[in-house]
């Protein structure tokens, strides 16, 4: 399942979230840069956990449930600022990412995310989102990636869930004591 959600953040929410990340990204940490760990080639920056992203994870759960037609449990969020030359390498997610959203916060250039069923050679689906829009997908079932970013900066939030009655429900909170803290 792959679904584009046009108004994942409404206009007012996007204005607040975008401004927050324009301030907050100045304090982000540079990611390791090791593709086996964070799936990014090139420089990228993160705040993990980010309290606003965790709040969005929890407050938008119902939108995810409506989109997939069943109850979900939130696992974790991840905020990433990509810069010119960053590339998301092709990968499949871990069990905590059974249902995922990649949410566009801001960017100065359109940037497609590509998806195709894992272990498949079919032509990938390439989707572009505008700020406030998200793509919902099953992270363990679809390879996904982005080619090199040719703009200056692009801010994305990743929201991850598991099915409440599914085989990965033990990953609720990503096995953390609570939201807003690292493992």
Q: What is the mean pLDDT of residues 41-67?
A: 84
- Residue 162: per-residue pLDDT: 97
Kindly report, residue by residue over 17-53, the tens digit of the pLDDT.
989 888 877 776 666 654 444 566 556 666 777 888 9
- Residue 26: per-residue pLDDT: 73
- Residue 66: per-residue pLDDT: 96
- Residue 127: per-residue pLDDT: 96
**CB-based burial of residue 44 (10 Å sphere; 0-12 exposed, 13-18 middle, 19+ buried)?**
buried
Q: What is the mean pLDDT of residues 2-18?
A: 94
Q: Where do the structural domains in the chain lie, given as residue ranges?
A: 2-31+38-164
Give the up-direction half-sphere exposure of residue 130: CA atoms within 13 A in the CB hemisphere. 4
- Residue 45: per-residue pLDDT: 62
Exposed e or buried b per residue across 59-90, where buried means at least 16 C-beta atoms within 10 angstroms of its C-beta: ebbebbbebbeeebbbbbbbbbbbeeebbbeb
Kindly report, residue by residue over 91-130, the tens digit of the pLDDT.
898 999 999 999 999 999 999 999 999 888 899 999 999 9
Kindly report, residue by residue over 121-158, the tens digit of the pLDDT.
899 999 999 999 999 999 999 999 999 999 999 999 99
- Residue 24: per-residue pLDDT: 79
Domain 2-31+38-164 sits in CATH 2.60.120.620:
yes
Judged against a pLDDT cut of 50, whether residue 76 lies above it is answered with yes
- Residue 34: per-residue pLDDT: 43
- Residue 31: per-residue pLDDT: 65
DSSP 42: S
Exposed e or buried b per residue across 137-176, where buried means at least 16 C-beta atoms within 10 angstroms of its C-beta: bbbbebbbbbeebeeebbbbbbbbbbbeebebbebbebeb
């Amino acid at each position: 399942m792959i679904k584009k959600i046009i108004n994942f953040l409404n206009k007012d929410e996007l204005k607040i979230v975008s401004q927050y990340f324009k301030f907050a990204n100045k304090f982000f940490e540079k990611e390791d840069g090791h593709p086996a760990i964070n799936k990014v080639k090139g420089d990228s920056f993160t705040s993990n956990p980010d309290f606003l992203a965790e709040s969005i994870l929890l407050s938008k759960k119902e939108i995810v449930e409506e989109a997939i037609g069943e109850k979900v449990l939130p696992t974790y969020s991840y905020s990433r600022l990509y810069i010119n030359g960053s590339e998301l390498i092709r990968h499949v997610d871990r069990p905590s990412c059974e249902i995922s959203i990649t949410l566009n916060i801001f960017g100065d250039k359109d940037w497609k995310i590509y998806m195709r069923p894992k272990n498949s050679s079919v032509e990938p689906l390439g989707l572009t989102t505008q700020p406030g829009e998200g793509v919902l997908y099953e992270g363990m079932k679809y390879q996904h990636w982005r080619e090199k970013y040719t703009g200056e900066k692009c801010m994305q939030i990743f929201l991850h869930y598991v099915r409440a009655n599914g085989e990965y429900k033990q990953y609720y909170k990503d096995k953390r004591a609570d939201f807003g803290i690292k493992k």
